[in-house]
Structure 1
Amino acid sequence: MAGSRADKLARLVRVQRQIERMTESELSLTLRAQVVTEETQAALVDAVGSFDPVHAAMSHQYALRFQRLSARAQQLTGVRAMQERRMLTEKTKADRLADQAAEAAEDEDRIAEDEALLDLIEASLGARASSY
């Protein structure tokens, strides 16, 4: 594991971005479930408001189902809020790691340039000393 600090940070950035994508995926699944729940609730409201005798006979069952869907919608709202916060946290972590990786790469480039310049100066001084 003799990688440079910039390489290690870049690898961490890739891992953190993957975690960010996973949280986005979880959020999208929650949003889809929320949409399905809302559509089902709307369909139940339409069925209860219908004058069809079949729906009138099932109104009690519809009310129970609507109650469960309301609880599910409330639960999904809480899950969604939590996942949005988590996604924001993961994105912030990834952005900070990316900044640190960029700074580390700049530092390593600067150190390499400094060493190359020192080698050039030493070579120049060595050539000058040998000519005397």
Structure 2
Amino acid sequence: MAGSRAEKLARLVRVQRQIERMAETQLSNTLRDQAALDASQDALVKAVGSFDPVHAAMSHNYAQRFQRISAQSQQLEGIKSVQERRVLTEKTKADRLTDQAASAAGNEERAASDESLLDLLESSLTRR
């Protein structure tokens, strides 16, 4: 596993970006679930507000269902805030690793050019 520091950091950046994408996917799934719950709540509100006798007979069931959906919605809101923080954290980590990888690559490039200049200088001094 001999590799330069820049290569190792580049690999870590790829892994971190994948973790970031996974966190974003989880957040998007939560947002989709939240949208579905909101649509269900809207449909229940419309049904309760309807003058149709079928809906009037089911009003107690609608109220219970609305309570369950409200509880789920609150849970998803908490999950969403945690996932948003996680996405931000993972993005920050990936950005920092990207900066470190770029810095390491620059340092290795400078070290290689310094080494080649020293070799050139040494070869020119040995010829004399």
TM-score normalised according to structure 2 size = 0.99
| 1:81-92 alignment runs, 5 A limit | 81-92=81-92
CA distance in 2, matches of 1:120, 1:59: 89
2:62 aligned residue? 62
1:17 aligned residue? 17
Spell out structure 1 runs of 4+ moving beyond 6 A. Answer: none
1:50 aligned residue? 50
2:98 aligned residue? 98
Q: Tell me which amino acid in the other structure corresponds to 2:119.
A: D
* Deviations, residues 48-106 of structure 1 (Å, cap 9, x unaligned): 00011110010000000000000011000000000000000000000000000000000
CA distance in 2, matches of 1:75, 1:19: 24
Give 1:43 deviation, angstroms.
Answer: 0.3
1:37 aligned residue? 37
* Deviations, residues 25-46 of structure 1 (Å, cap 9, x unaligned): 0000000000000010000000
Alpha carbon RMSD of aligned pairs, Å?
0.3
Larger Rg: 1
1:75 aligned residue? 75
1:125 aligned residue? 125
Unaligned runs of 5+ in 1: none
CA distance in 2, matches of 1:13, 1:61: 52
Unaligned runs of 5+ in 2: none
- Percentage of identical aligned residues: 71
Q: Tell me which amino acid in the other structure corresponds to 1:73.
A: S
